[in-house]
Structure 1
Amino acid sequence: MVEIKTPGEIQAMREAGRIVAQALTHVAKHATTGTPVTELDDIAATVIAEAGATPAFLDYHPPFAPTPYPAVICVSINDAIVHGIPGRHRIRDGDLVSVDCGAYLDGWAGDSAISFTIGTPDPHDQALIHATEQALAAGIAAATPGNRIGDIGHAIATIATAGGYGVPTDFGGHGIGRRMHEDPHVPNRGRPGRGLTLRPGLTLAIEPMFIAGGDDHYRTAPDGWTLHSRDGSRAAHSEHTIAITDDGPLILTLP
């Protein structure tokens, strides 16, 4: 069921979104060559706890996963697309790192993701990250009253096609509010003018995921969570939680 939020509820989600944005900012600042990935998880956990919020990912157990998620953030490196579990390994110079974070505050959720490179950047990685950010902006711009869910997916896919990037099948954005994942599903490919009509009060997490090699397919790691590009090429992920309003889309996960 699609739930329409009141202005007061959207403001409550904005507060949760600020905490998520703060956690991501702290993680990105701390991520340098040699940093253990578990440290990034500890940093996000501290930011969320000190703000009086609760991690949304920790112990989350969707139907596709064999076990509950064991960490506060997802850290997906290089060919990992999404859902990377923070491990004991250390970040290396040249890594492409995507971090996804979610939190609950007073019963309302926020969800956001960023991608960045470590140390010496590869121009191809920078272009890939920039494309996901462009696609996120295009998807958000399409999230206006009267448009359809398909318009969001079409805007995202147009950027992917122009850059020759793959879009992993089956995964995309989602409704969000009292729960991290609500209806509707927000695909990263869509047909304009198709799907659910967008209404003021609808809150969505829009999250382009692009694969550099152009292949839409992925493989699941033995941990049952991490999705890797099938062709081994690098991937990037960008995400914001937004609200659809009469005045246009409102981003809820800005610092």
Structure 2
Amino acid sequence: MTRQILTVFASDPGKGGKGGKGGEFPITNAEFIASVFQQIPQGAFAAVCSKPGDPTLGGWIATPANQGIQSLSANHNNYVGCSSFFPGDDGSFKARKDRFAAFHFLMLDDIGTKVPFERLGSFELSWLIETSPGNYQGGIILANPISDAAGAVRLLTAVIDAGLCDPGAAGPLSRWARLPVAVNGKPKHKDNLGEPFHCCLTEWRPEKRYTPHEILARLELERAPGRRPKHSKTPSVKRSEWDDAHDVLMP
């Protein structure tokens, strides 16, 4: 499949390294998470999950990123949660709605297959990862993490309604995105030698951060799914519904 990238590279892609360096941009998962999660509510943690083999099997065990990031194997399916979470009173850590702290980034799925690159227009993603041959996940980092759970749900609903995300992914508070140093262990993506597909970070712009208003306007999310309208028009969303002034503290 011919790959067509219409978003703009922040710089010339570097060569991928070895031993935990992944993709066209040489970066570790620890560096990636540190760049994305620059604001986390006090006492909360980003969540990671690592699964060997076929990721559709077994449960999703969340680990605080500060504890689990160094132990992620480059030969596993590695994920980071779109949200940060508070530990429970008993010290346990789970990526659940009742532990939600803040929503940090949007993940656009199936770009290049179900979602054409043309749909993004000139929008500059914060990152783009090839997660299977010709299929990409795109990340959009929020300028200020959303600490209001209902606000996070409304934002993802707008993305789903625009056809930019899997309709089955209706739970943004516990949604997982693939990390750049990882494999896609689904059997259908193995090569002729039986090796899994290695994820590849093809675009990396952590400085690109957006408010919900900017995302709605620039991606025209309240339009018909799967296509861009001919004329740009800012969606009619009340300011009170997308309040950017969230009480997010630096840890």
Query: Which has the larger share of helix?
Result: 1
Task: Provide TM-score, normalisation by structure 2.
Answer: 0.27
